[in-house]
A = this chain, B = another copy of it.
């Protein structure tokens, strides 16, 4: 079955990520969405919350999606999964929960259905332990908010069939999609995006702990340099460009000395345990002082800006024709 054929996506767990994911799927005309969540006021919660994620905005849209048969609210996992071509879960980040869920889903969903977990940290090979068929499950790790952020990290287990991986990749990269799925070649803790983020965060926490810079000034530094640079180029392409004609090799030759000094000197703070965790109070206090709790208006403002950054990424300026 092609990704552009009619699809029926059963979404399990409709917290913030789930709502955003529902909006992503509903933006596809060939997709019907079945939603299931165990919270008691789920119907009302969905009606109140989903409109914030839909492009159209007005709350009547949810009613019209339901009326037109594109969105179905379920009160049982069984009915939600019964006709699914794709089952995607955004439940709690708890191994036992996910293992139990997938064993149930396997018994309820059609044999052909694809199984996707939006986990940020629990590998498919761990989640599938109680399943009898381990070839169907893979990680589709979104970045918040998934209806805007282009990345989906697709991480199969060693048992996942290649055609299951390819289906997921194609689903998120159909013509017109703003999404950019990337398939990882191996399972690894934190996958790639969060490993890169946490590597930078560790050093950021260290620099605040050492009083080199305040949390707010560090954020300014990132926004005024690496953020826009990495929005336009990846880290490798940036250094390929930075090395001039010699590319990244010339960059490593020239900056290798400074780089090794910095690598030897990177902060070794920890978040758990008792050693080198004293940065936490300082960072939390400075971050609360600088930002407080973001208002809904501020969050909305940030989402609008994020959409603009993503739009600029694919804009053409007419200079990129190779010169004669």
A→B interface (CB under 8 Å): 16, 93, 120-121, 143-144, 149-151, 153, 180, 182-186, 188-190, 192-204, 207, 210-237, 239-242, 244-245, 247-249, 252, 254-263, 265-266, 270-273, 280, 283-284, 286-288, 290-291, 293-302, 304-306, 308-310, 312-313, 315-323
- The chain B residue sitting closest to A15, CB to CB, is B244
Pair A252/B280 contact, Cβ less than 8 Å = yes
Pair B266/A195 contact, Cβ less than 8 Å = yes
Copies of this chain in the oligomer: 2
Pair B200/A202 contact, Cβ less than 8 Å = no
Pair A199/B202 contact, Cβ less than 8 Å = yes
Pick the 8 closest A-B CB pairs, nearest first. Answer: A219-B234, A227-B230, A151-B224, A227-B231, A300-B319, A228-B309, A151-B225, A199-B203
- A321 smallest CB distance to B (angstroms): 6
Q: Which B residues lie within 8 Å of A216 (CB)? A: 234, 236
Pair B299/A241 contact, Cβ less than 8 Å = yes
Pair B302/A233 contact, Cβ less than 8 Å = yes
Pair A297/B321 contact, Cβ less than 8 Å = yes
A–B pairs, 30, beta carbons within 8 Å: A120-B255, A121-B258, A143-B229, A149-B224, A184-B212, A186-B211, A188-B212, A189-B265, A193-B221, A193-B222, A194-B262, A196-B200, A197-B235, A198-B263, A199-B200, A216-B234, A216-B236, A222-B234, A223-B233, A227-B229, A228-B231, A236-B283, A237-B290, A240-B294, A247-B287, A297-B321, A297-B323, A304-B317, A305-B313, A309-B309
Q: Which B residues lie within 8 Å of A294 (CB)? A: 240-241
* B201, B255, B257, B305: the one within 8 Å of A312 (CB): B305
Pair B151/A288 contact, Cβ less than 8 Å = no
- A204 smallest CB distance to B (angstroms): 5
Pair B293/A247 contact, Cβ less than 8 Å = yes
Q: Which B residues lie within 8 Å of A217 (CB)? A: 182-183
- A93 smallest CB distance to B (angstroms): 8
Pair A284/B252 contact, Cβ less than 8 Å = yes
* B212, B219, B247: the one within 8 Å of A284 (CB): B247
- A41 smallest CB distance to B (angstroms): 18
Query: In the docked arrangement, what's the CA distance between A221 and B230, Å?
Result: 10
- The chain B residue sitting closest to A148, CB to CB, is B228
Q: Which B residues lie within 8 Å of A120 (CB)? A: 255, 258
Pair A258/B291 contact, Cβ less than 8 Å = no
Most chain B CB neighbours (cut-off 10 Å) among A184, A240, A266: A240
* B121, B184, B210, B256: the one within 8 Å of A272 (CB): B256
Query: In the docked arrangement, what's the CA distance between A184 and B211, Å?
Result: 9
- The chain B residue sitting closest to A204, CB to CB, is B235
Query: In the docked arrangement, what's the CA distance between A186 and B241, Å?
Result: 30
Q: Which B residues lie within 8 Å of A189 (CB)? A: 258, 261-262, 265
